[in-house]
Each structure stands twice: as C-alpha cells, then as structure tokens.
A and B are shown apart, each in its own frame.
Chain A
C-alpha cells in the first residue's frame, strides 16, 4: 500500500462535481485541476451519473469522498460497501479516497447524518481497528475528514485534534482537513481553531475542504450553501502555510451557483488571501 506522504501531493485546486454542473463540465471541460466526486452517488447506478464520471475521470484527476462508511458505528463494518468503494476507486483511478470521522447509524439503520463521536480511549480503539480493516480492503490509505459538530460529549477525554492525531498515528491513515468544519466546530464547541490547526499532523493530511456555512444565531450550520467567509479563508491560509500546501476542494451543495461562480470561489485557494483585520483567525465568540 502506498504511503500517505507519497499520495498527499498538491494536485492543485478542484471542486466537488455536482449533477447540476454535468452539462457544463462535459461541454466546456473547465480549467480546474481536479474533481472530487461523492462516492455514494455512483455506487448504485449504471446510468448517466456513472457515464459522466467515466468521462470526467478520463480527463481529470479524481478524488472520492464518501458519507456512508460510518467508521465510528458499533454495528458490524459493511465490508460489501467498502468493496464497492474500492471497485469505484479502481475504475476512476482515484488519487485519494475519503470519508468522515463519524457514525451514521446503529442497529442496521442509517440516519444519513455525520453524527459526532465522543473523543475518548474507547472510541479511539474502536475507530482505529475499523480503519485498519477498511484500508486492507481498499488496498490504499483512507483519508478521514474532521466533521462539523453541533455538540460535545461530557465524557470526551481529549480534544478533537488530539483524537485525530492519535487516530492517524495508530491506524496509519490520512486526514482530510475541512477548514470550514474547523471554523464551524470551533464556534459551536468553543475551542481555538488556531490551536486546532497547529496541532494537526500535517504529514498525514491529503487535502483540504473549503465551503460556506450559515449562522443561525445560536450556532453555525455547515450548509455548503455560500461563499466561504473571510475568517475561513484566513484559516485556509494558515493551514496552507503550516502544511506547505495541499490540494483544496471547494464544496457547494445547496443553492448551487453556476459553475463559473463556484470555480472563482475555489480559485481563491490558488491565489491565497492576505490576513487582514476583517479576517480574524479566531472566530469571534458570538456563540461562546
């Protein structure tokens, strides 16, 4: 299996491929470095989505991003699902395969949400053991994304960044750092996003996510429905500096704009943005 370091090269700036943009992409083959595709949208179809994916993967590097691995669930690992992910990764020659540090359901049910895990020794051992199985089945490293969270558990015994660092070390897996999630969770859970990023094991990081979020007054929601705020771009710049540069993917999933608007937003990652007073690294404690 290839090492994380050999895979986590800077592929440039890309966007999440969404159905509404299929026509534009196939007609114009836009100048974007790579696409991220939502794994689960292509696992159970032999129709147009898979046909489009094949054409896109023939022209661009592709990374795959899933939402249903449920690495933290206490249900049995769905090995059949992992094998289907591997088949798709082989078909698209995916540069990286990612999912989330979360659980999505138990007792056979799937809530299709990225539910939070308590960060303690019990969870760490459970997740590490499952990552090892998944990586063996995938025959490639797995990159796991820090989730956006709306709650924290009373019996968590370590901060999220420590959990992620230990998880990567013990499971020998990779990380996908969603910079917007760091921002959202820092506001919702009251931690310092700079302290978070300074503790990330950068040699494990495959790529970054950027996205917009929504402030609903009492908390932030990771809606992927807008431009990223200056404060989130400032964190991206810090992450770029700390990591030495990584692939960045911009995700836009609700109120999706024309492709050119999405691309222009994503390309802010290429040009970089200066840190200014209007782009505070630490989210203001409007929410505590």
Chain B
C-alpha cells in the first residue's frame, strides 16, 4: 500500500483505539476505513511476543481505563452508588457521547449530570443526576479563582438608607443548587462510611463554598436559597427580599430577622466578594 499521510494515519489509529469493543474490531470498522483501508500489519510492525493488532490493543485497553479513573476522581460517590459494573457501562457510554475535547482531562466530566438526565431507561437516573450535579459543583468550587478577602470598605460606609439598593457580588467560589432529592445528606452519609440506600424524592437546597482552600457544603432552607439565588443573579437586596417575602408569605420583620442571621454566615464564609451600592 502507499505510504499514508500523517493525517490519515492518526485518524485511523484514533478510530482503532477508541472503538467501543476492541482494537481488533476497530481495525475492521468503517470508521477506521474512512481514514485508511489497511490491515494492522500494513501499519504496525510485529514484536517478538505481540502481533501488530495486539500492540494497538495495548493503547486501546488503556483508553477507557484512563477515562474511568479520571471520572472516578470527580464522582466517587456516584461511582459508589452505581457499583463497579454499572459505573463501567456508564463511563463507556458517556465517553462515546462526550469524548474529551479539552487539553485537561479534569474537564471530561462536565457533561455527566446532563448525560445522566438523558438516560431515561437508567434506573434512578433522576437522583443519580442530582448526585452528579452536586459532585460537579464541588469540583467547580475547588477549582474556582480565589476571590481574595471580603472587601468590607463598602460595608463600613453603608448608610441604613443604602441597604435596600445594595447589590451582593458573589464570590467565584460560591455555587448554589436546588435538587429534587436530598443528595447532600446522602453524600454526607456515604462519606461517613454509612451504607445508605439512594434517597426518595424530596426537595433540597445546598450551598457550596470554599474556605481556607477546602470545599464546604451546607443545607439551606428554601427561603434562604431563594434569597441567595436572587442576590447571586444581581437583584438588589430590597427587591430580592420583597420577592421572597411575597413567595413565602412571610412577615417583613420575620424575613429581616432571618436575614440578619443568614448574612453573618454569608460574610464569614465568603459567599460574597463585595457589596456595591448605587
């Protein structure tokens, strides 16, 4: 056969190595032939104890193992919940749907929650997707830019009349999540070493933040979650409080009292990098 171009060779080899079954199937696949119509021995030399296709298989067998390892690093509790066989199947399907396109392997799992939600025939896909969403949020908080210390200058000069127009600027290390299942409590139980079943449906709200370089999670009430969400979206404090008060049918004094309690945590735990007033 004529010497292949480097482009043809790489397309062929990638098709062989990423074939979902094996390198032997990969060599025979239409995908490989689309690049180069060749037998393995026309491309690869034999070794003393390995035939050409066996040598390709060395690389082919390492590919899914590497992907599984990478995803297991980001999704240890999801992996534990699924069990070894289901985890292997899930990863193999996932990397066919969302192969890595980023130089950093740590980015591989960014679509996993979305992928799980699309698997209607997977038992418990909704709760597993919530669990994946929580573990993804943990990696996002872990890798977020460090915001630096809270800028209290605006706070110190804030007059009582300015509070209503105050806008809270969220730290990049803050993530808020609303779930259909209490997955944070489940994850916490698993991390404590408890053997617990996947939870039944029930709304839950979680804030994730970083403090002293560690990722922290805290359960929120629905009202605190709603108020935080509106503030993170850029609503000023007065408008956000008015909406929460109306939606939750709370007395104004009651919500103000709660806000005083909540805001202490928010500032101490670095949810916000600064407060702006117009």
For the complex formed, measure the closest distance between the CB of A153 and the CB atoms of chain B, giving whole angstroms.
Answer: 6
Question: Do residues A218 and B101 form an inter-chain contact, with CB atoms below 8 A?
Answer: no
Q: Is A110 an interface residue (CB 8 A)?
A: yes
Question: Do residues B47 and A189 form an inter-chain contact, with CB atoms below 8 A?
Answer: yes
Whether A74 contacts B107 in the complex (CB less than 8 A), given A110-B101, A111-B18, comes out as no
**A residues less than 8 Å from B54 (CB atoms):** 218
Q: Is A48 an interface residue (CB 8 A)?
A: yes
The chain B residue sitting closest to A51, CB to CB, is B213
**A-side binding surface: helix, strand, loop or mixed?**
loop
For the complex formed, measure the closest distance between the CB of B174 and the CB atoms of chain A, giving whole angstroms.
Answer: 13
Question: Do residues A115 and B106 form an inter-chain contact, with CB atoms below 8 A?
Answer: no
Q: Which of B113-121, B140-148, B154-162, B265-273 forms contacts with chain A?
A: B140-148
Question: Do residues A111 and B63 form an inter-chain contact, with CB atoms below 8 A?
Answer: yes
Q: Which of B1-9, B197-205, B250-258 forms contacts with chain A?
A: B1-9
- Bound together, the chains give a CA A285 to CA B17 distance in angstroms of 28
The chain A residue sitting closest to B70, CB to CB, is A112
**A residues less than 8 Å from B42 (CB atoms):** 154
For the complex formed, measure the closest distance between the CB of A167 and the CB atoms of chain B, giving whole angstroms.
Answer: 14
Question: Do residues B63 and A113 form an inter-chain contact, with CB atoms below 8 A?
Answer: yes
Question: Do residues A112 and B14 form an inter-chain contact, with CB atoms below 8 A?
Answer: no
**B-side binding surface: helix, strand, loop or mixed?**
helix
User: Contact mask A55-80 → B, CB, 8 Å, 1/0?
Assistant: 00000000000001010111000100
Give the number of residues in B that approach A within 8 Å (Cβ atoms).
50
Question: Do residues B48 and A150 form an inter-chain contact, with CB atoms below 8 A?
Answer: no
Whether A109 contacts B100 in the complex (CB less than 8 A), given A44-B143, A188-B47, comes out as yes
Whether A219 contacts B143 in the complex (CB less than 8 A), given A150-B58, A151-B56, comes out as no
Question: Do residues A45 and B3 form an inter-chain contact, with CB atoms below 8 A?
Answer: no
- A78-126 contacts to B, CB under 8 A, are 78, 81, 103, 105-113, 115, 117-118, 120, 122-123, 126
Question: Do residues B6 and A68 form an inter-chain contact, with CB atoms below 8 A?
Answer: no
- B98-148 contacts to A, CB under 8 A, are 99-107, 142-146
Whether A113 contacts B45 in the complex (CB less than 8 A), given A68-B103, A68-B104, A74-B7, comes out as no
**B residues less than 8 Å from A273 (CB atoms):** none
For the complex formed, measure the closest distance between the CB of A185 and the CB atoms of chain B, giving whole angstroms.
Answer: 11
Q: Is B277 an interface residue (CB 8 A)?
A: no
Question: Do residues A74 and B6 form an inter-chain contact, with CB atoms below 8 A?
Answer: yes
- Bound together, the chains give a CA A221 to CA B61 distance in angstroms of 12
Q: Is B55 an interface residue (CB 8 A)?
A: yes
- Bound together, the chains give a CA A22 to CA B93 distance in angstroms of 35
- Bound together, the chains give a CA A68 to CA B107 distance in angstroms of 13
For the complex formed, measure the closest distance between the CB of A239 and the CB atoms of chain B, giving whole angstroms.
Answer: 25
Q: Is A261 an interface residue (CB 8 A)?
A: no
Taking a contact as CB atoms closer than 8 A, the residue among A41, A47, A108 that contacts B213 in the complex is A47
Question: Do residues B49 and A78 form an inter-chain contact, with CB atoms below 8 A?
Answer: no
Question: Do residues A122 and B5 form an inter-chain contact, with CB atoms below 8 A?
Answer: yes
Question: Do residues A81 and B47 form an inter-chain contact, with CB atoms below 8 A?
Answer: no
Question: Do residues A150 and B55 form an inter-chain contact, with CB atoms below 8 A?
Answer: yes
For the complex formed, measure the closest distance between the CB of A87 and the CB atoms of chain B, giving whole angstroms.
Answer: 14
- Bound together, the chains give a CA A43 to CA B105 distance in angstroms of 11
- B5-43 contacts to A, CB under 8 A, are 5-7, 9-11, 13-14, 17-18, 41-43
The chain A residue sitting closest to B7, CB to CB, is A74
Q: Is A28 an interface residue (CB 8 A)?
A: no
Q: Is B50 an interface residue (CB 8 A)?
A: yes
Whether A106 contacts B7 in the complex (CB less than 8 A), given A44-B104, A48-B213, A113-B63, comes out as yes
Taking a contact as CB atoms closer than 8 A, the residue among A81, A117, A151, A190 that contacts B103 in the complex is A81
The chain A residue sitting closest to B9, CB to CB, is A118
Q: Is A271 an interface residue (CB 8 A)?
A: no
Question: Do residues B146 and A153 form an inter-chain contact, with CB atoms below 8 A?
Answer: no
Q: Is A155 an interface residue (CB 8 A)?
A: yes
Q: Is B44 an interface residue (CB 8 A)?
A: yes
Whether A113 contacts B104 in the complex (CB less than 8 A), given A46-B146, A154-B45, comes out as no
Most interface-central of B49, B70, B104 (chain A CB within 10 A): B104
**B residues less than 8 Å from A68 (CB atoms):** 103-104
**B residues less than 8 Å from A106 (CB atoms):** 7, 10-11, 14
Measured CB to CB, the residues of B under 8 A from A are 3-7, 9-11, 13-14, 17-18, 41-45, 47-50, 52, 54-56, 58-59, 62-63, 66-67, 70, 99-107, 142-146, 172, 210, 213-214
User: What are 12 inter-chain pairs, A to B, with CB distance below 8 A?
Assistant: A43-B103, A44-B106, A70-B103, A109-B18, A110-B102, A110-B105, A113-B66, A115-B59, A122-B5, A188-B47, A219-B58, A288-B48
Measured CB to CB, the residues of A under 8 A from B are 40-41, 43-48, 50-51, 68, 70, 72-74, 78, 81, 103, 105-113, 115, 117-118, 120, 122-123, 126, 150-155, 188-190, 217-219, 221, 285, 287-288
Other CB < 8 Å A-B pairs besides A74-B7, A190-B48, 8 of them?
A: A46-B145, A68-B104, A78-B103, A105-B14, A109-B101, A110-B99, A151-B56, A288-B48
